[in-house]
Structure 1
């Protein structure tokens, strides 16, 4: 179907094939349940789950082992090794609860509502964080649901109904993950770009040596083995020969395997720099970056390209595209093209479509391993510090927040432009409401309040054209604020003139009780909603402006700002610009040529 129709085309895939005879999982399940120990492989990682340390309650332990084994199978809720390990830890926590409370529970058939709710209450009394408690309750209740489905009829009707919900005690809203400051983000980008430049230099300087010495011949043979197989193990005879020859020749062998493979493949440490740059430049989630495919770049045009990525959390809409800049290595598109080039050899050896294939621990792999220690080494080597002056704690999941915070400030907080890759509600709650953006929000609120105050207290300014319209129009169409249009001729004739303006309510001042005279200084008219500024008052305003400017020479900056700062701002930026240059020149002439006609208070005459 054409792309113009608005219907997205399905992602091209490969023909799937299945074995004709699938092994029966029954015998494997029976062995695992009987031993309470079994191996699992999830998302490319393998581990062993061990429930043999559960004390007593053999029948109940068998039911939980069967439920845990089922959770770790294809289609089960444990999609990763980490989730499966968390389920096993929840079982051990449940056993500690049973032992601590002296529960006589021995089998699944004896499970009742009191035991389940008691586990919830026991964790709450022990001071466990509400969210951690809710997580453990969800694991145990989930396993009980699988156990109930695997052994139907064992649980009572009341206990089965209790498994419909996790807990009656809700968790608490989690503290939002904050973004890094601009200073830290700039330092991270600079360090990552330095690493990318080093990787480029490393791949360019792949050794091509002539066979002059024994070490040269051994290195040539070792690199030939790497090119043929993809890697060379430290236990291979050829590598051990090279190692011994270098050691005998006085050469350092520290990191020899990584140095050799680093001229052909990416290393785990290289992924840290690539992930940091991609996340800070594009805002992609780290899990999406890890799962990028070698054909992720789509539709290049006019210096831009689309990145196709998978966001597993977006149920039923996992595959998404993000349009980014494309060009040199300083752009996201150019950086991905370099990564595609660098990983081509490793992908060919592994026959993998994953983009980030690399050499680690003596072999090639396309599964991104945990990077905690690698991140710490990377931060230490680059000497990066946080805002507190201590060594930076790099959390990759904060990089997306950092990109979003910068984009939020760039868009001025416009959520419609800010929400890229998620809904406006998610953008507001998860990416805009973070501590790093609190100063921006507070400044916006303060600015809005100042604007509101200025609008509320700003006097009415009438140019000669507006005065003519107000005198000729009916009271309802004068354009004056409500309350001023009752006696327009008197207001504009000069009968109600005060110091710097015409006053529509000298005895109804916003600064005093109704019926009392206005108590503010004469320049308070510039802050009063009753004030009306016309060309007739411009000479007085000009004279007062000269007086205010002269006061700067005899007053401290703080005192002058406190007394005359706002009045000067009103005159200079809000009142005078509304009149024509001819009106202003006339007012200046009157102010200079007829000073006795301009009323100023005694303090102005003493200047």
Structure 2
């Protein structure tokens, strides 16, 4: 913060992203606020403040300026910070919520940070400090639309997709990016090769190549693109654009190159825009550079990464090899603008309003948003436009193909590319988040990229389904092994429960009478011979859950209500335990009841048993207390 000779009070900003700006406090109303506000802005944007990039500082300055201008517009404005009241801040929030609701909370949050700084904290009342430190109000829910949007003419404010691409869409996108990047590479390398041959021996070239080589020589020496012969001179003639592309990267080339680098490196668009020139090649196999990863907190933005270079000719498939290729393609323009950033391009100076024919510049040197990169326009304007996957038809059955839903252009953005690569890496790691987390923490990876994404959701459902099938098969095999070892499994009587039917199942008359009277009942079934287990030939020592594998187990129609109650208890326990633990502990018994017992009764018998089903509490009693979840 300093006061200029002309009386203006300004704050000079130099961010961690090496971008600069001067905030003129004197241009704001309410002169009584200028001195403390300048000190607060200097503290907020200084080395220890939270606004340490050009975009963050500019956004914060905008919120602070809007607050002061609103206070000045009041009938009785607070002319100094000590006159500010909570009612003023409430009125400011209501004004912003009515005019621009999307930024109302952000402006109020910036006011909170501003008034809690040491420069302003002692100059406002305690009531104001208490007010700004309260929880911010909940965002208002937008009113539902009154009419359905027009599919052919969607509104300009329609929400852009942020989910990742399907596997087919991603493959088509990567193929298109590599194809366009290869065209750009071959175009510039062909121009460099012609320039080299022209410098070596102009007379060895035919007349057409000699003329083109002469113009390329002039471009390489001066950076200026001449108007080709036999072309009418014009500031915007397309022939100059085509000629410039033989040696220089152009603005229209940025979209495919930046998107491909984002996909290969699995980084977001902001990081790709700020890729540096400075790097180190490690034994010809990898390239090491320091990249910028924003929104990690103060002094945590820079990260050293190592990218694989790959085999010669594979530069379009590895992040390090493609980075070195980009250095090659941008080298000539970077010599003219001397930028420390990777991206340097040629542009028509007349089209940029510079008053000159040619300009070599770094498009993201001053700000990440100063140059528009339109990935969706690139995808739609290709000779073979990229299309999204066909949408499922919602028409009636038997509709003619002419009424099918048309395929829409693919929405391309850095966010969707980043999400897709995060999903692909997570799937490759088998869903293990600690291994899949690369440029973000596990909570950020799940919350911002994986949660709700249709591709990862479908994959997770498929994996879970396969895991459940594997677990059920393992339980089935465990049950079969137990049945073979314990006498062949339960005997099921699906008819009337009387002594003759029980004798027909192999019971002695005495045991059949006891079974018919219910004297042999155990937990959920009956036991034909408790004193001699089929496996040990000794008194039974197993739990009631193991009865379902035993040859002494007897199941009749009278046991159905208790068995259905047991299944409900197992279902409740399944919600309390991990799937793998539940299947190991209860899976064999569940399989035996579902497949070996209930399948032998009719639907009418099961429906009647459902009416008499008890609330099963026996499962808590048959297990040891330390085994309960």
TM surpasses 0.5: yes
User: Match of 2:359?
Assistant: 363
Q: Whole-Å Cα distance in 1 between the matches of residues 169 and 539 of structure 2?
A: 61
The separation in 2 between residues aligned to 1:376 and 1:270, in whole angstroms, is 14
2:125 corresponds in structure 1 to 156
Q: Provide the residue aligned with 1:342 in structure 2.
A: 329
Output the TM-score relative to the length of structure 1.
0.62
Q: Paired residue for 1:228? A: 221
Give the direction of change, closer, same or farther, for the CA distance of 1:460–1:46 in structure 2 (3 Å limit).
closer
Q: Structure 1 CA distance, aligned partners of 2:590 and 2:52?
A: 69
1:413 is matched with which residue?
431
The equivalent residue for 2:8 is: 31
Say if 1:531 and 1:185 are closer, same or farther in 2 by CA, change over 3 A: closer
> Please, what TM-score do these two structures have when normalized by structure 2?
0.60
Distance 1:253 1:216 in 2: 24
Number of the residue aligned with 2:77: 104
Q: CA deviation at 1:222?
A: 5.1
Relative to 1, partners in 2 of residues 1:359 and 1:172: Cα closer, same or farther, differing over 3 Å? farther
1:276 Cα deviation from its structure 2 partner = 1.4
Contact 2:548 2:592 in 1 (8 A): no
SS at match of 2:420: helix
Provide the secondary structure at the position in 1 that maps to 2:546: coil
Report the alpha carbon displacement of residue 416 of structure 1 after superposing the two structures with TM: 2.8
Are positions 1:482 and 2:546 aligned together? yes
User: Are the structure 2 counterparts of residues 127 and 202 from structure 1 closer, same or farther at C-alpha, using a change threshold of 3 Å?
Assistant: closer
1:203 Cα shift? 1.9
Structure 2 unpaired stretches of 5+? 142-158, 349-357, 392-406, 488-532, 566-588, 601-629
Q: Which of these residues, 177, 181, 199, is aligned with residue 192 of structure 1?
A: 177
What secondary structure, in the 3-state scheme, does the structure 1 residue paired with 2:256 have?
A: helix
Matches within 5 A, 1:514-525: none
The answer to whether the 8 A contact 1:416-1:424 is kept is yes
Mean Cα displacement is larger for which, 192-201 or 205-214?
205-214
Kindly state the Cα deviation for residue 195 of structure 1 after the two structures are TM-superposed. Answer: 1.4
When the two chains are superposed, the root-mean-square deviation of aligned CA atoms in Å is 4.9
Of residues 474, 485, 488, the one that matches 1:466 is 485
Task: Count residues in correspondence.
Answer: 469
| 1:552 match | none
Is the 8 Å Cα contact of residues 2 and 9 (structure 2) preserved in structure 1?
Answer: no
- Counterparts of 1:484 and 1:510, CA distance in 2: 16
1:205 to 2:187 alignment: no
Q: For 1:452-601, list aligned pairs within 5 A.
A: 460-462=479-481, 466-467=485-486, 470-472=534-536, 481-484=545-548, 490-491=552-553, 503-504=554-555, 507-509=558-560, 528-529=592-593
Q: In 2, distance between residues paired with 1:296 and 1:91?
A: 39
Give the C-alpha shift of residue 198 in structure 1: 0.9
Contact residue 287 and residue 307 of structure 2 kept, 8 A: yes
Aligned to 2:292: 310
Q: C-alpha deviations, 1:471-530, integer Å up to 9, x for none? A: 236566779943348xx5645xxxxxxxxxxx555532368779xxxxxxxxxx996428
2:317 aligned with 1:331, yes or no?
A: yes
**Relative to 1, partners in 2 of residues 1:86 and 1:294: Cα closer, same or farther, differing over 3 Å?**
closer
SS at match of 1:275: helix
Change (3 A) 1:364 1:430: same
Post-superposition shift, 1:404? Answer: 0.8
**Equivalent residue runs for 1:157-306 within 5 Å:** 157-160=126-129, 165=133, 167-169=135-137, 177-206=162-191, 207-208=194-195, 223-229=216-222, 231-232=223-224, 239=226, 242=227, 245-248=229-232, 254-296=237-279, 298-300=281-283
Q: Do the aligned residues in 1 keep the contact of 2:177 with 2:257 (CA within 8 Å)?
A: yes
Deviation at 1:401, TM superposition (A): 0.8
- Aligned-residue offset at 1:424: 2.7
Cα deviation for residue 193 of structure 1 reads 0.9
| Structure 1 unaligned spans of 5+ | 1-23, 234-238, 492-502, 515-524, 534-540, 545-607
CA pair 379-171 structure 1, distance change in 2 beyond 3 A: same
* Cα contact 2:286–2:307 (8 A) shared by 1: yes
Residue in structure 1 matched with residue 372 of structure 2 by the alignment:
372
Give CA deviations for 1:196-244 in whole Å, capped at 9, x if unaligned.
Answer: 1112211222144659999999866654443234x227xxxxx4xx46x
CA distance in 2, matches of 1:527, 1:126: 62
CA distance in 1, matches of 2:210, 2:481: 94
User: Does the CA-based 8 Å contact 1:105-1:111 persist in structure 2?
Assistant: yes
Q: 1:312 to 1:39 in 2, by over 3 A?
A: closer
Distance 1:232 1:457 in 2: 77
SS at match of 2:593: coil
SS of equivalent to 1:329:
coil
Do structure 1's residue 426 and structure 2's residue 444 form an aligned pair? yes
Cα-to-partner distance string for 1:337-383 (whole Å, 9 max, x where unaligned)? 22232233444444444333333453333452645354354223222
Change (3 A) 1:390 1:176: closer
User: Could you tell me how far apart the structure 2 residues matched to 1:247 and 1:40 are?
Assistant: 48
- After superposition, the Cα gap between the structure-2 partners of 1:324 and 1:475, relative to the gap in structure 1 and judged at 3 Å, is farther
Distance 1:422 1:264 in 2: 38
Aligned to 2:107: 136
d(CA) in 2 for partners of 1:86, 1:248: 46
SS at match of 2:248: coil
Shift of residue 384, structure 1, vs aligned partner: 2.2
Q: 1:161 to 1:275 in 2, by over 3 A?
A: same
SS in 2 for 1:460: helix
Relative distance call for 1:116 and 1:474 in structure 2 (3 A) is farther
CA distance in 1, matches of 2:279, 2:35: 46
Take 1:464 and 1:166, find their aligned partners in 2: how far apart are those partners?
A: 66
CA displacement, residues 257-282 of structure 1 (integer Å, 9 cap, x when unaligned): 44333333322333322221222233
| Structure 2 residue matching 1:359: 3-state secondary structure | strand
**Deviation sequence 1:244-302 (CA, Å, 0-9, x none):** x54359x997334443333333223333222212222331222222333335455357x
Q: Residue in 2 aligned with 1:385?
A: 387
